[in-house]
Amino acid sequence: MIFIGIGANLPSERFGAPVDTCAAAVKALQRISNTKVKAQSTWFESAPVPVSDQPWYINGVVQIETDLNPLDLLQALHDIEADFGRVRAERNAARILDLDLLVYDDLHLTEHSPRIPHPRLQDRAFVVLPLAEIAPDWVHPVTGEKLREMAAKLPKDQLCRPVS
């Protein structure tokens, strides 16, 4: 299974509010050659991590199928971000769009980009909660933890709730 995290907390001139940008990003993922979106979580709103005065984020997770290798897939994600107007200036900055390659099957890559699975995925409510919606039985390929175990360990101060 391949999972992509989607997030945004700045409006886009092209797409509008962050939730609309995230929805447009799902459509853009489907335009990647030989790629199909198999499942999509609902959208969640979450406070910035680390805590800051940035606007809250809209986040979700999709499961895709693709014949792209992880490096080519990551490049395709970066190309979509750039097309949407993302500028990579500083780490944890507010952004128009963020696409993260969270998991690529059972691969475990730690020395080069992309790092798979995403090294902080189990620590982020805005990833664990949407992922639990679309793949409740998924097990972390490195830690062996189930999503409900990861959810139980999340810091209580990470504010994350479904968009109403």
User: How would residue 91 be classed by pLDDT, with cut points 50, 70 and 90?
Assistant: confident
Please provide the distance, in angstroms rounded to a whole number, between the alpha carbons at the two ends of the chain: 28
The predicted pLDDT at position 87 comes to 79
Establish whether 95 is a catalytic residue.
Answer: yes
Considering the candidates 31, 95, 115, 161, report the single residue annotated as catalytic: 95
**Residues facing 63 on adjacent strands:** 3, 39
pLDDT of residue 115: 87
Reading the block at residue 13, the tokens are 């001139």
Q: Which of 20, 53, 100, 157 is catalytic?
A: 100
The DSSP bridge pattern shows strands 2-8 and 98-104 to be antiparallel
164 pLDDT higher than 90: no
Closest by CA to 4, choosing from 41, 47, 48, is: 41
CA-CA distance, 37 to 97, in Å (whole number)? 18
Each residue's pLDDT tens digit, 22-56: 999 999 999 999 999 999 999 999 998 777 788 99
Q: What is the mean pLDDT of the chain?
A: 92
Rounded to two decimals, what is the model's pTM?
A: 0.93
Among candidate residues 32, 29, 93, the one with its CA nearest the CA of residue 61: 29
Q: Which residue has the higher pLDDT, 115 or 7?
A: 7
Is 100 a residue of the active site?
Answer: yes
Helix (H) or strand (E) holding 132: helix 125-134
**pLDDT tens track for 61-73:** 999 999 999 999 9
Q: Choosing from 98, 105, 148, 161, which is the catalytic residue? A: 98
- Report the interhelical angle of 18-30 vs 70-83 (nearest 10°): 140
Average pLDDT over residues 141-147: 93
Residue 49 CB contacts under 8 Å (≥ 6 apart), including other chains: 92, 124, 126, 158
pLDDT over 90 at 15, yes or no: yes
CATH level 3 topology of 2-162: Alpha-Beta Plaits (3.30.70)
- pLDDT tens-digit profile of 95-124? 899 999 999 998 888 877 788 899 899 999
Verify whether residue 86 is a known catalytic residue: yes
Per-residue pLDDT at 106: 87
Which residue type does 9 have?
A: N
Q: Which of 86, 137, 157, 161 is catalytic?
A: 86
**How far is 122 from 32, CA to CA, in rounded Å?**
27
